[in-house]
Amino acid sequence: MLILGIESSCDETAASVVEISHGKTKVLSNVVSSQIKIHKKYGGVVPEVAARKHAEVIFDVVAEALKQGNKKTKKQKDKSLLTSLLKREGLEGIDLIAVTEGPGLVTSLRVGVLAGQTIAALAKKPLVGVNHIEAHLLSPFLSNKKIKFPALGLVVSGGHTELILVKDFGKYKIIGTTRDDAVGEAFDKVAKILGLGYPGGPAIAKAAEKNISHNSPQPPLTLRGGVKLPRPMLNSDDFDFSFSGLKTAVLYLAKKMTPAELKKLTPVIAAEFQQAAVEVLVAKTKKAAEKYKTKAILVGGGVIANQELRKALRGLDYPVFLPELQYTGDNATMIAFAGYHKYLRKKKNEVFNIAAEPNLGI
């Protein structure tokens, strides 16, 4: 089955063509048009700007994914996607269209949903709406076939921090979540406090690298300039998280310093913040995997691009499955994959009954 995936929930416009047959997944194209440069100057994503930009590029992004992915479309590279659609050429190889319906920024989601509905209706192909969190959760399947259920899923992104019990495709139970900020959001806010720019995750990781000894993931406190940050909810009885206090601790620390001191200690603070976040995430994941006796741990979302988190999770005594770096951030390949499984379960064409759902739950 050939699936066209479309994603536009935040600041990436993405389209992919994925082939799934006999349990084998082959990614034929993975096109991502990022708006990071545009939002950088505002220090974060501006929803109205994001939606307008999605609308500007989405059909070009889809056309590029089809061109790269579907050999048939290569023949007609001079035609616009609309011309191809009206003649229903180029898309006849595609069996299913999958689009993110939520959660995310409502105006951004609407652009993707509308594009998906338009393409599906003109091409006379079925369309399914995909949950963005489910797609992140399943992203390790793109490169690993042998993942056994029940599995424990950890989704760490800019908007979500979720521990999810995965009994099967489509059978999910949230067992822990953040009580305030998502972990990616905390990285972004701390980066802002430290003057490291947007997006914060990669900026914090880069600053922290200057301070991390390669032999020890947790250098002695003296090496960390005496900076010690809290590990919120590390020992709580539940599987919930809280990252707002950690961010505020950085803010208070920064406020006590002169600009010169702050600049000097930025790598130290970045490393300590990253270490605190990693420790809490890994400890809760381990505890949940033990309690629910899961056979595997799956992790997805933008924050799993973080090398220290990857290292720490891989150190757990469990089969741990992480997505390849290109599938950690927002992409349409994971949408196509999750959409395929939803279609297998429901066999339902949702072309006229999906809508953007900014608060969609898993």
- Per CB under 6 A, which of residues 318..347 are in contact with ligand KG4? 329-330
- Our finding on whether 134 is near ligand KG4 (CB under 6 A) is no
Choose which of 69, 102, 140, 201 interacts with ligand KG4 (CB under 6 A).
201
Distance separating alpha carbons of residues 102 and 116, to the nearest angstrom:
14
Distance separating alpha carbons of residues 295 and 149, to the nearest angstrom:
6
- Report DSSP state, residue 130: E
Q: Which is nearer to ligand KG4, 103 or 126 (CB)?
A: 103
- Our finding on whether 5 is near ligand KG4 (CB under 6 A) is no
Q: Which is nearer to ligand KG4, 102 or 200 (CB)?
A: 200
- Our finding on whether 306 is near ligand KG4 (CB under 6 A) is yes
Choose which of 140, 153, 158, 267 interacts with ligand KG4 (CB under 6 A).
158
- Per CB under 6 A, which of residues 244..303 are in contact with ligand KG4? 301-303
**Min dist. Cβ of residue 143 to ligand KG4 (A):** 17
Helices assigned H by DSSP within the chain: 36-40, 47-69, 71-74, 81-86, 106-123, 132-138, 183-193, 200-209, 244-255, 259-291, 307-314, 333-346
- Our finding on whether 100 is near ligand KG4 (CB under 6 A) is no
Q: Which is nearer to ligand KG4, 69 or 302 (CB)?
A: 302
- Our finding on whether 131 is near ligand KG4 (CB under 6 A) is no
The partner in contact with residue 188, picked from ligand KG4, Zn ion, none with C-beta cut-offs of 5 to 8 angstroms by kind, is: ligand KG4
Residue 289, token pair as written in the block: 């995997």
Binding mask 18-37 for ligand KG4 (x = CB under 6 A): --------------------
Choose which of 69, 126, 159, 232 interacts with ligand KG4 (CB under 6 A).
159
Distance separating alpha carbons of residues 137 and 296, to the nearest angstrom:
13
- Our finding on whether 164 is near ligand KG4 (CB under 6 A) is no
**Min dist. Cβ of residue 133 to ligand KG4 (A):** 8
- Per CB under 5 A, which of residues 322..361 are in contact with Zn ion? 330
Q: Which is nearer to ligand KG4, 351 or 360 (CB)?
A: 360
Task: Report the half-sphere exposure of 238 (CA within 13 A, side-chain side).
Answer: 12
Q: How many CB atoms lie within 10 A of CB 199?
A: 22
**Min dist. Cβ of residue 208 to ligand KG4 (A):** 9
Q: Which is nearer to Zn ion, 126 or 158 (CB)?
A: 158
Q: How many CB atoms lie within 10 A of CB 74?
A: 12
Q: What is the DSSP string of 194-259?
A: TT--SSHHHHHHHHHHTT--SS-SS--TTTTTT-----TTTT-SSS-B--HHHHHHHHHHHHTS-H
Distance separating alpha carbons of residues 108 and 305, to the nearest angstrom:
24
Q: What is the DSSP string of 42-66?
A: TTS--HHHHHHHHHHHHHHHHHHHH
Binding mask 135-174 for Zn ion (x = CB under 5 A): ----------------------x-----------------
Q: Are 316 and 282 in contact (CB under 8 A)?
A: yes
Name the residues that contact ligand KG4, by CB under 6 A: 10, 136, 157-159, 184-185, 187-188, 199-202, 205, 301-303, 305-306, 329-330
Name the residues that contact Zn ion, by CB under 5 A: 157, 330
